[in-house]
A and B are shown apart, each in its own frame.
Chain A
Amino acid sequence: MSAATTGHARTTAPAEQPVPDLLYSEAEEDLRSAVRSLLTDRCGPAAVLARIETGRPYDPDLWTALGAGMGAAGLLVPESLGGQGASAREAAVVLEELGRAAAPSPYLTSAVIAVEALLSTGPEEGTETAALLAGLADGRSTAALALPWSTAPGSRPAATVRAGDGAALTGTVRGVADAAEAGTLLVPAEGPGGLGLYAVEAAAPGVTITPLVPLDLTRPLADAAFDNAPARPVAGPDRAEAAIRRALSAGAGLLASEQLGIAEWCLTETVRHTRERHQFNRPVGSFQALKHRLAALWLDIVSARAAARNAADALATGSPDLPVAVAVAQAHCSRTAVRAAEECVQLHGGIGMTWEHPAHLYLKRAKADATALGTAGRHREALAGLVDLPAPSH
């Protein structure tokens, strides 16, 4: 028997993983139907295209209907703090639908990332943090974690903001997603005792929000500059780093569901188009070269769905496998969404290159999402450590 067949004892990668629930519950499917129906009515491609040119892509009425009306904004917040007490599994379903609609919405930045950051600080009832959470949970206000949108979970972001006397903040954070829409900015800043997390009202004196021209017009970016801006500490050095890590991890894990939704729309639309579009006296979708590409894309989406569900389930259950689940979901779903969007543009032919056709909304969203919260490559590198496949030392 050769060395390869004798079976090697593994050192750290465990053989048996907890078995996640990768299906959708009936309640989750009901939630999906409700969100999809709302987005179909209020957030069609024509409406999105019209709004993105205004520089204010968010439709406040849509956010009210989704966040407050349907309670989606508070899914992750416990009932005792004014939320729905649901889990990341439900939030993931909302994000699948938002991705499918390329909907401009602060859901991921506010209802997921900011909420997770605040929850991780251990808010007690009656505190200002609890009040802030309650406002986010019922959709009355939104918040954004002030870090560059490309920041990966687990990476220690550069300290570009300092907290001085009385917690006043000074410094600049580049490329913050949804900063221009947020009522409150949650700012990681170096204070006297180390890294802390601070809440700053966007309208406060000394806060300057400068919108950037984003690649993805459906998720605006802005630089946030603070000049002795008044702030309130929400987590000290003992908790801030873990809170930021948890928030980014939840963001990256659930971004995979948005990416799944993007990929599904791209596949569905491309299949529809290639069935209808005739060339050479046949539907172009009857040509094997195209059929195989679409089938291969479907194949990728099958495993993207499993990977995205796995990350959502790991977040919901507090699985010890969470870091691996998030890294796998991001590494796989980023690639799948971009590929789906690129295939969508290509297989639509000339119409796919136009501004009127919504394909470009999805391409821009998919490419920006692939860079957001850590690239696929960053997540693969994280896996190298997590599953004991170290890089060469030479």
Chain B
Amino acid sequence: MQRNAAAPQPAPDADGLRRRVRDLLDAHDPATTPREEFLRARFDAGLAWVHFPEGLGGLGAPRSLQRVVDTELEAAGAPDNDPRRIGIGLGMAAPTILRYGTEEQKKRFLRPLWTGEEVWCQLFSEPGAGSDLAALATRAVREDGTGDWVVDGQKVWTSSAHVARWAILIARTDPDQPKHRGITYFLCDMTDPGVEVRPLRQITGEAEFNEVFLTGVRIPDSHRLGEIGDGWKVAQTTLNNERVAIGGGRVPREGGMIGKAAATWRERPELRTHDLHQRLLGLWVEAEAARLAAIRLGQQLATGQPGPEGVAMKLGFARLAQEISGLEVELLADEGLTYQDWTMVRPQHVDFTGRDAGYRYLRAKGNSIEGGTSEVLLNIVAERVLGLPGEPRTDKDVPWKELAR
């Protein structure tokens, strides 16, 4: 078929995407092409995230078609970009840069982000600003003359900071404004002088998170994302995307933590007790109902009826993970009294279901805290889904510098 190169091409459908995947595989045999080279070629072919614009890793296709591409490439044995290792970049930095970034920023950052050549972390939470994130105290002051920003403060719970090349950062640029209004959003170079990353050893013994100390860190104004003082609005994009990452549709039964407990139950009849049997069956039912709810959410998203159920998924996941892993420790009896390894390691990625039952039990405690505590999410459901009135607020219109801390 003759094509007019100048005319804008319509977004490809599933068959069009399959053709593009075949073209990519023909030009870059996964068996012989180095991993990063293949990933760069995939990005340039618009097959990284198909719903992104052309030239930025996508083709403007419906997001639901990404699965088509992923399935074909997986079947062909193509390398993936290890999304677990670069989850913060993919899930949080990328959609925010896409929405608020300048053309230069998008061109500069999205490709190495997607290929994993540059890992991202998120400098949001602070020791005094967790659930009340907008109370943050890290300061960014603009320098006369250069126009650079000079940042001082401390961040906490920073996953991947020890391997990250870049960070998304929110900092206070106007303490005279109420707390939500004086914040600005930056892209921070983690290799700059003044950035110090210290491991934060956790309940599990390992250091999956870090503390990040920022002392006189200089950030050029070209690495500001969005308008000065608009950082809270920009951060909402990041935070909303944090909870959207629910895969839809093809979760296998017993696909999560319940599978581990069920497998142990089947293989170790000597461990069975009547009490544990009752609890296991109850949790199996809840896990299956949660799996079905995730499928339903995926089907809603695919037909363009996104619901607020994503928040429900996160809440339900946290509670189930905690209950199931708690049951596992008891089920394993003497084995449950031991722990695999308390060595402080700094893992490359988060693994909720890896290691042993004791680790799973301890790590799952974080599921109801990270990404929004269950209490905050319940408030969100109550106010935004059910329409219940908010708690009375005393901090909304008060300049940040006058708030009690």
* Contact of A381 with B by CB under 8 A: yes
* B288-339 CB contacts (< 8 Å) to partner A: 288-290, 292-293, 295-296, 299-300, 303, 305, 309, 312, 315-316
A324 to B391 Cα, complex, angstroms: 42
* Contact of A182 with B by CB under 8 A: no
Give the residue of B263, B274, B293 whose beta carbon is less than 8 angstroms from that of A10.
Answer: B263
Q: Are the CB atoms of B289 and A288 closer together than 8 Å? A: no
Residues of A with C-beta under 8 A to B356: 2, 4-5
* Contact of B77 with A by CB under 8 A: no
A309 to B289 Cα, complex, angstroms: 11
- Which chain B residue shows the least CB distance to A21? B299
How does the 8 Å CB contact mask read for A267-285 relative to B, with 1 for contact and 0 for none? 1000100110000001101
Residues of A with C-beta under 8 A to B382: 285, 291-292, 294-295
In the complex, number of A-B residue pairs with CB atoms less than 8 Å apart:
167
In the complex with contacts A22-B295, A306-B295, A17-B253 CB distance below 8 A:
yes
Residues of A with C-beta under 8 A to B293: 302-303, 305-306
Q: How far is the CB of B123 from chain A (nearest CB, A)?
A: 29
Q: Are the CB atoms of A380 and B281 closer together than 8 Å? A: yes
- Which chain A residue shows the least CB distance to B302? A23
Q: How far is the CB of B139 from chain A (nearest CB, A)?
A: 32
How does the 8 Å CB contact mask read for B248-259 relative to A, with 1 for contact and 0 for none? 011011100000
- Which chain B residue shows the least CB distance to A332? B289
B interface, size bucket: 35 or more
In the complex with contacts A291-B379, A305-B296, A381-B281, A8-B267 CB distance below 8 A:
yes
Q: Are the CB atoms of A393 and B386 closer together than 8 Å? A: no
Among A4, A11, A22, A389: residue with most chain B CB under 10 A = A4
* Contact of A61 with B by CB under 8 A: no
Q: Are the CB atoms of B354 and A5 closer together than 8 Å? A: yes
Q: How far is the CB of B396 from chain A (nearest CB, A)?
A: 15
A83 to B345 Cα, complex, angstroms: 67
* Contact of B273 with A by CB under 8 A: yes
Q: How far is the CB of A257 from chain B (nearest CB, A)?
A: 14
Residues of A with C-beta under 8 A to B209: none
In the complex with contacts A13-B254, A286-B390, A392-B272, A383-B357 CB distance below 8 A:
no
* Contact of B8 with A by CB under 8 A: no
Residues of B with C-beta under 8 A to A15: 252-254
* Contact of B145 with A by CB under 8 A: no
* Contact of B16 with A by CB under 8 A: no
A125 to B178 Cα, complex, angstroms: 77
Q: Are the CB atoms of A328 and B289 closer together than 8 Å? A: yes
Q: Are the CB atoms of B355 and A328 closer together than 8 Å? A: no
* Contact of A103 with B by CB under 8 A: no
Among A11, A296, A381: residue with most chain B CB under 10 A = A296
- Which chain A residue shows the least CB distance to B280? A389
Taking chain A's interface residues, is the majority helix, strand, or loop, or is none over half, making it mixed?
A: helix
* Contact of B99 with A by CB under 8 A: no
- Which chain B residue shows the least CB distance to A288? B391
Q: Are the CB atoms of B282 and A291 closer together than 8 Å? A: no
Q: Are the CB atoms of A20 and B295 closer together than 8 Å? A: yes
A21 to B303 Cα, complex, angstroms: 12
Give the residue of B272, B296, B312, B383 whose beta carbon is less than 8 angstroms from that of A309.
Answer: B296
A286 to B252 Cα, complex, angstroms: 39
Q: Are the CB atoms of A389 and B281 closer together than 8 Å? A: yes
- Which chain B residue shows the least CB distance to A12? B266
Residues of B with C-beta under 8 A to A8: 263-264, 266-267
Q: Are the CB atoms of B392 and A298 closer together than 8 Å? A: no
Q: How far is the CB of A104 from chain B (nearest CB, A)?
A: 29
* Contact of A158 with B by CB under 8 A: no
* Contact of B285 with A by CB under 8 A: yes
A282 to B388 Cα, complex, angstroms: 12
* Contact of A204 with B by CB under 8 A: no
Q: Are the CB atoms of B250 and A291 closer together than 8 Å? A: no
Q: Are the CB atoms of B292 and A310 closer together than 8 Å? A: yes
Residues of A with C-beta under 8 A to B282: 331, 380
Residues of A with C-beta under 8 A to B272: 390-393
Q: Give me the interface of B with A, judged by CB distance under 8 Å.
A: 249-250, 252-254, 260, 262-267, 269, 272-274, 277-278, 280-282, 284-286, 288-290, 292-293, 295-296, 299-300, 303, 305, 309, 312, 315-316, 340, 354-357, 375, 377-379, 381-383, 385-392
- 3 shortest interchain CB distances as A-B pairs: A291-B382, A306-B292, A295-B381
Beyond the given A15-B252, A19-B295, could you list 8 further A-B residue pairs with CB under 8 A, ordered by the A residue number? A5-B354, A16-B252, A22-B292, A288-B379, A291-B379, A331-B282, A387-B262, A389-B266
A-B contact pairs, 13 of them (CB 8 A): A13-B254, A271-B386, A274-B388, A291-B378, A294-B388, A296-B378, A307-B292, A309-B296, A328-B288, A332-B286, A387-B262, A389-B284, A390-B272
